[in-house]
Amino acid sequence: RRSHGGLTLSGGECLMQSEFSSALLQAAHAYGITTAIETTGFASFEMMEDKILPFVDTVLMDIKHMNSAKHKLFTGVDNERILKNAKKIAASGANLIIRTPVVPTFNDTPEEILEISQFARSLPGVKQHHLLPYHRLGSDKYEGLGRDYLMSHVEPPTQEKMEELLAVAKTTGLHVQIGGYMLDFLKNIKVNILGSATLCIILGIILVVYPNTSMTIVCRTVGVIVLITGLGMVVSYLRSETKGFF
């Protein structure tokens, strides 16, 4: 509240834990904290209307595809319930923002994105459509769990491709942007990581090269540790970039 920030319930899917999510959102509102949820909308609208929407300031809802058969092929469920819920949420007066994770081979053609944007434009009160480029941020987690990352062959969309889709979606008159609130947050982390890494490297070099005191060995030991930490941060950053972090 002091930083004028808020509370966002993200995924997995917060609506699958509706009781806990509702209690958390209510508590946040009681303290004057703004709230948002990121959701697929694949849940009972009656539950959302009763337990979630009264305590949410912004609903960030995914619409991945307008073709029900293709939606089911890629996600395991059709999109009828999702589209109906989007209409009901919009009609309820909630501040609804439509988001589309742009995934090559699934929904990255201009025609597919335009159809989603046109649907978003038809919803009362909806003014924004966020295009979220697919990334491989979670691939290391799969590796750590000993699981196969089945989308390793899918390359993140290029900036040129995203700009093309952005231009098409904008023809609907909506405010359309590449990336959403979380992407802006990650970009800030990216800047902070590079800044921290630079400071660690500089401090490490100073501690290794310049000390000439009774504490020289200690200083140089600390310097080596700090230097390795900084270099490790740079390596992690470079790995994230090559894997399509953004």
Strands 6-9 and 34-39: parallel
Predicted local confidence at residue 246, as pLDDT: 37
Collapsed DSSP state (helix, strand, coil) of residue 203: helix
Helix (H, G, I), strand (E, B) or coil at 177: strand
- Reference 41, options 69, 6, 71; nearest CA is 71
Helix (H, G, I), strand (E, B), or coil: what is residue 218? helix
Instruction: Tell me what pLDDT residue 243 has.
Output: 46
* pLDDT, position 187: 52
Spatial contact of 130 and 97, defined as CB atoms under 8 Å apart: yes
Q: What is the mean pLDDT of each run of 10 residues along the chain (246 residues)?
A: 76 91 95 94 96 96 97 95 97 96 96 98 97 88 88 90 96 92 52 71 78 70 82 72 45
The H-or-E segment that residue 98 falls in is strand 96-102
Helices (H), 36-79: 45-47, 68-75
130: CB partners within 8 A, 6+ apart:
60, 97, 98, 99, 100, 176, 177, 178, 179, 180
What's the pTM value of the predicted model, to 2 decimals? Answer: 0.72
- What pLDDT does residue 245 have? 39
**Residue 134: DSSP 8-state:** -
In which residue are the tokens 């923002």 written?
A: 97
Which pLDDT belongs to residue 190? 55
DSSP state of 31: T
- Give, to the nearest 10 degrees, the angle between helix 216-242 and helix 181-209: 150
Q: What are phi and psi of 9, to 5 degrees?
A: -90, 120
